[in-house]
Structure 1
Amino acid sequence: MPGQRAGEPLVHAGPRQAERVVAVPTTISVRHAELSPGSVLTDELWSVVADAGCAAASIQLCAGTLGALSYVHPAIDHSGQRQATFSDTIAVTEPAFLSSGSATLGLRDGDRFAHLHASWRGSDGQLRGGHLLPGATVGAVPVHAVVRALHEVNQYSETDLETGLPAFTPARRPADALGQRRGVISRVRPGVDLHEAVLFACRKGEFASATICASLGSVVGARLRTGAGRVVEADWPATEFTELTGTVRYAETGSPEVILAGTAVDRNGDVHSGLLIPGQNPVAVTFELYLEEAAADGG
């Protein structure tokens, strides 16, 4: 049945918007930060973004430990009101050794709002991951964050009429100062394949080459290549990426090259990593996709 397995787009109950990828070019500033042990993760991130004179950012969480932590992962909505929802809250009471993480900072109802996904290992060595709830703290080891402050963009979180779930949408804003690099921040709506979305955003920024990072969101299941002849297919309906990285080359030609790799958590709480198979990873609910211009390709 269509829409019941990984790689097949979900059909949501709400009205479908015509613009499937909202891509906004912007200049950016890159800041590296060590987040203080015991601090609230988002408070530290907001301090870095404010120092850059911005109100929105795309962020990579690279190393360190998390302290107090509550999270959820994707789940089936048995009420039938939505195609996907979240699990019950899971509390972590022991140190979590960060493996990867991504965050989007913006506004919701006029207040600062953050969307964070991460994967980590507990003291038992098991890899876990999910959507972090407000209040997560930095553990005994500082968390290293790479903050890409967006100078010409605001990010607004609202409940999406199509899916019934919250989503960030970028919008241009006047900038007091410009950053030194160029990027594109995008909202990708349900059904759009991630490879297609990346190429669209790259061309929107008029980049011949680009790198993808600091991106998070969900796809329908997930279909990942994990070795020669090996494919992992995560369970329907939604799998959330804690990390998405990749490259684009030759975007201005008729033969572009897009390579994406990621780490994602499924509805069972299992974490998967691998290369995304082109054309087989449509967005489930929303995806916050960030890419920035890369050096000219000499090859």
Structure 2
Amino acid sequence: MVEGYIMRKILHPGPVAPERVAAVSGSPVRLRFTLEPGCAVDEAITKGFEEAGCMGGFVFLQGGRFEPFKYVIPAASPDALHAAWYSATFEPEGAVEIVRAGAIVGFRDGKRFIHCHGIWDTAEGPRMGHMLARDTKIVDPIEVTGIGMKDAAFQAIPDAETNFTLFEPVTAPGGQAGAGGQRTLIAKVRPNEDVSVAIESICSMHGIQAANVFGIGSLNEVHFVGGSFVKSYATEVLIRRGTVARVDGQPRARLEIDVVDMDGRIFSGEILRGDNPVCVTFELVIEAIEQDAGPA
């Protein structure tokens, strides 16, 4: 970035929280299970997590057919209570197939809650947004994969800064954050923090030099490597491939994403480190991997 450059910011209605990132570690479980036909997506994912004994985590979806399928895209807020909002609900005609999607799994109001962003094929062509998992039903069986956590979870909590109810990483009752030296984290990044730099900060705090990164969230405009730019202060984002590697002795994040803007346009590519601030929130699962201890 150019020296002296000030990254853009979005103004939320509430007081700025002093802690800009949050993360807890737990006991990871590799997941692979089938979403059964006739079930809503949230019901089917809940069943898979419960059978695996997992509290929270991330799952990746690809393929299958869904009908009805409902989703929203980012939109301007209708009032001053929020900095951004959601569009009216879209419900494409006929069955919809998922190209790729990612879901953060947690709890809200005492029940399992699924926060899912992705790209899907509709009769009108590819679309992207925030799936309404409770209102979307499975037509064909679909196998999903992911990472679950036995003793850590995402808990939806009212957030004074944004005036939304947002996922916060928490240690599950009876669990101990970092117990047994676990190296998989669930994490979140707050508004106006560069997502790549924030991931690096989280990794540094937890002694992680290399990792796979999974997650979804929102960015305030998007600046890609190579110079292309998404001019939309509210977006929905899926990390399609995220990694952290040791560079000059420090963790360095590299993120390839899919993103939809407020006009429903879809963009994909590697984002520029240092110029992609979070709009509302970004939710992450960071899976540490072994790396050679030799020179970077």
Match of 1:249 in 2: 245
Residues 1:211 and 2:212 are matched in the alignment: yes
SS across alignment from 2:264? coil
Q: Which runs of 5+ in 1 are unaligned?
A: 1-6
CA distance in 1, matches of 2:240, 2:221: 15
Looking at structure 2, the residues matched to 144 and 180 of structure 1 have their Cα atoms a distance apart, in angstroms, of 30
1:276 aligns with 2:262: no
Find the counterpart in structure 2 of residue 182 from structure 1. Answer: 183
1:79 corresponds to 2:85:
no
Aligned match of 1:90 = 90
CA distance in 2, matches of 1:175, 1:256: 28
Distance 1:265 1:45 in 2: 24
Amino acid at match of 1:237: Y
Size of the alignment, in residue pairs? 284
Q: Distance in 2 between matches of 1:282 and 1:81?
A: 21
Whether 1:112 and 2:112 are equivalent positions in the alignment is yes
1:8 aligns with 2:8: yes
- The alpha carbon displacement at 1:52 in A equals 1.8
Corresponding position of 1:4: none
Pick closer, same or farther for the CA change 1:92–1:200 going to 2, 3 Å: same
Q: Single out whichever of 257-266 and 198-207 deviates more from structure 2.
A: 198-207
SS of equivalent residue, structure 2 residue 91: strand
Contact in 1 for aligned 2:57/2:186 (Cα 8 Å): no
5+ residue gaps, structure 2, are 1-6
- Please list the CA deviations of residues 126-170 of structure 1 after superposition, one character each: whole Å capped at 9, or x if unmatched: 221111122211233x32311311122122102311111221001
Residues in 2 aligned to 1:38 and 1:243: alpha-carbon distance in whole angstroms: 28
1:189-228 superposed Cα distances (whole Å, 9 cap, x missing partner): 1011111121122223322210112x01101021223xxx
Counterpart of 1:169, as a letter, is E
Q: Distance in 1 between matches of 2:28 and 2:81?
A: 39
Report sequence identity in percent.
29
Whole-Å separation in 2 of the counterparts to 1:139 and 1:265: 25
Q: Which amino acid aligns with 2:72?
A: V
Q: Return closer, same or farther for 1:121/1:179 CA change in 2, 3 Å cut-off.
A: farther
TM-score for the superposition, normalised by structure 1 = 0.88
Structure 2 residue identity aligned to 1:247: T
Greater shift, 280-289 or 56-65, is seen at 56-65
Alignment of 1:142-181 (within 5 A): 142-173=141-172, 174-175=174-175
The one-letter amino acid paired with 2:259 is A
After TM superposition, the structure 1 stretch with the greater mean CA deviation from structure 2, 152-161 or 284-293, is: 152-161
SS in 1 for 2:224: strand
Q: Output one character per residue of 1:212-253: Cα deviation in whole Å (capped at 9) or x when no partner.
A: 12x01101021223xxx4x332232211113342111117x5
Does the CA-based 8 Å contact 2:61-2:145 persist in structure 1? Answer: yes
CA RMSD between the two structures: 2.2
Distance 2:63 2:69 in 1: 16
Structure 2 distance, partners of 1:62, 1:121, is 11
Contact kept, 8 Å, 2:209 with 2:251, in 1: the verdict is no
Q: TM-score, normalised by structure 2?
A: 0.88
Aligned to 1:35: 35
Partner of 1:240: 236
Tell me the residue number matched to 2:130.
Answer: 131
For the 8 Å contact 1:29–1:181, the answer to whether it is kept is no
On the 8 A contact 1:75/1:87 being kept in 2, the answer is yes
Alignment counterpart, residue 286 of structure 1, candidates 274, 281, 285:
281
Distance (Å, rounded) in 1 between the aligned partners of 2:170 and 2:249: 29
Distance 1:290 1:35 in 2: 21
Is residue 27–residue 184 contact of structure 2 (8 Å, CA) maintained in 1? Answer: yes
User: 1:262, 1:168 → 2: CA distance?
Assistant: 20
Deviations 1:56-96 (A, max 9, x none): 12111133232211111101114233211111111123221
In structure 2, the CA distance between the partners of 1:224 and 1:29, relative to structure 1 (3 Å rule), is same
Give the Å deviation of 1:266.
Answer: 0.9
Distance 1:73-1:179 versus aligned 2 partners, 3 A rule: farther
- Write the deviation string for residues 12-37 of structure 1: whole angstroms up to 9, x where unpaired: 11011101100111220011122223
